[in-house]
């Protein structure tokens, strides 16, 4: 008995020592996470930044000579007389990328909201099935899925031949290799990323709130705009980011559906590292893309910095 008491007394000081050392222990415990972030995020980004401010080697790779030429190249060209002249070519690609990404996100939103709302109002088993169907495309390689659209949209493809079969068109310009084809492919590829977060926020919405609204003389449309949409805003914003940001860097759709004729930022960067062998220029374009994404996310964060009041109704 006495021995036990003594032991517990001996334990006390060692315990308090552990508490004093708490902070450093926390740091050690979180080390794997910090390490992962450092190795997989900070270092690669650092390398890209480093390459972007070096001189590119004409045979691929780069030479360790400091130069901002690759950034200059985005906006300016040397003409025959070795004078700098404005070159809009790359700006147009950046603008096209932004517009197409924005359009994709908007179209996805318009389609996703009714779909997500419909799913959330089904019975539990139907819900599971429908959500499973929405995630199903992810089980197939993205390349194959985008190729499927090539088959659908190509000359004498599924769409054109069926339109012709029903006599709806007689002569048709190619549906493939233009901006619309890229847009269709992007909407198709990224729409699940919009449906899922919106579904999650609608699912949390209390049906009684819509009943309360209609009890207070609100029409269906007013209930949608005043109650449902504001309360689903977190899901809509999340979905928008999840679609918009990857669209900015997308490679497959412009390559396969744009036919390489209409460039987007993603495949422009890819080209610099492969065909053009201009690593520094590719890296600086990647940095520009990163800055665009960061600016967009910061703008979004500042807009939603007002705390979104969590539902108090349980």
Partner 1 sequence: MSIAIKINNISKSYGSYQALNNISLEIKDNEFFTLLGPSGCGKTTLLRMIAGFETPNAGIIQLHGEDIQSLAAHKRKVNTVFQNYALFPHMNLEQNIAFGLEMIGWGKDRVAARVNEMLNLVHMQQFAKRMPSALSGGQQQRIALARALAPEPKVLLLDEPLSALDLKLRQAMRDELQQLQRDTGITFIFVTHDQEEALAMSDRICILANGDIQQLSTPAEIYENPANKFVADFIGETNFLAVDVVKKGAKQPLTIKTPLGIDLELETDSQMGFNQLIEHQKCHATLSLRPEKISINSQGLDINLEGTIVQRTYMGGYTHYTVRTQNGQNLKVSKRNQISNNPSYSINEIVNIGFLQSSVRVLTQ
- Say how far apart CA 152 and CA 150 lie, in whole Å: 5
Q: Could you tell me the smallest distance in angstroms from the CB atom of residue 121 to partner 1?
A: 15
Query: 23 vs 313, which CB is nearer to partner 1?
Result: 313
- Say how far apart CA 15 and CA 27 lie, in whole Å: 19
Q: Could you tell me the smallest distance in angstroms from the CB atom of residue 220 to partner 1?
A: 8
Based on the number of CB atoms within 10 Å of its own CB, is 300 exposed (0-12), middle (13-18) or buried (19 or more)? Answer: middle
Based on the number of CB atoms within 10 Å of its own CB, is 285 exposed (0-12), middle (13-18) or buried (19 or more)? Answer: buried
Q: Could you tell me the smallest distance in angstroms from the CB atom of residue 219 to partner 1?
A: 6
Q: Could you tell me the smallest distance in angstroms from the CB atom of residue 210 to partner 1?
A: 9
Query: 172 vs 226, which CB is nearer to partner 1?
Result: 226
Q: Could you tell me the smallest distance in angstroms from the CB atom of residue 310 to partner 1?
A: 6
Query: 75 vs 216, which CB is nearer to partner 1?
Result: 216
DSSP annotation string for 2-32: HHHHHHHHHHHHHHHHHHHTHHHHHHHHHHH
Which stretches of the chain bind partner 1, using CB under 8 A?
Answer: 206, 208-209, 211-219, 222, 226-227, 230-231, 308-314
Closest CA to 249 of 193, 291, 311, 301: 291
Can you tell me whether residue 90 is helix, strand or coil? Answer: helix
């Amino acid at each position: 008995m006495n021995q036990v008491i003594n032991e517990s007394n001996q334990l006390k000081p060692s315990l308090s020592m552990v508490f004093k050392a708490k902070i450093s222990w926390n740091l050690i415990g979180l080390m794997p996470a910090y390490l992962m972030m450092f190795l997989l995020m900070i270092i690669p980004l650092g390398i890209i930044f480093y390459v972007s401010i070096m001189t590119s080697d004409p045979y691929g790779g780069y030479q360790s000579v400091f130069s901002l030429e690759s950034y200059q190249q985005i906006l300016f060209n040397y003409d025959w007389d070795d004078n700098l002249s404005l070159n809009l070519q790359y700006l147009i690609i950046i603008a096209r990328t932004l517009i197409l990404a924005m359009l994709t996100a908007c179209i996805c939103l318009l389609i996703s909201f009714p779909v997500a709302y419909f799913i959330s109002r089904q019975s539990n088993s139907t819900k599971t099935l429908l959500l499973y169907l929405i995630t199903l495309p992810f089980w197939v390689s993205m390349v194959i899925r985008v190729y499927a659209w090539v088959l659908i949209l190509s000359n004498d493809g599924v769409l054109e031949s069926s339109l012709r079969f029903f006599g709806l068109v007689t002569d048709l310009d190619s549906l493939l290799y233009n901006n619309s084809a890229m847009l269709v492919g992007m909407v198709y590829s990224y729409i699940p990323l919009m449906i899922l977060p919106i579904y999650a926020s609608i699912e949390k919405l209390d049906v009684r709130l819509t009943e309360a609204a209609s009890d207070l003389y609100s029409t269906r449309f007013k209930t949608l705009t005043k109650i449902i949409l504001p309360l689903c805003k977190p899901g809509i914003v999340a979905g928008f980011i999840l679609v918009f940001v990857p669209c900015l860097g997308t490679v497959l759709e412009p390559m396969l559906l744009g036919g390489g004729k209409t460039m987007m930022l993603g495949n422009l960067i890819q080209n610099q590292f492969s065909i053009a062998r201009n690593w520094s220029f590719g890296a600086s374009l990647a940095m520009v893309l990163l800055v665009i994404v960061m600016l967009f996310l910061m703008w979004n964060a500042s807009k939603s910095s007002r705390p979104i009041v969590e539902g108090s109704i349980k």
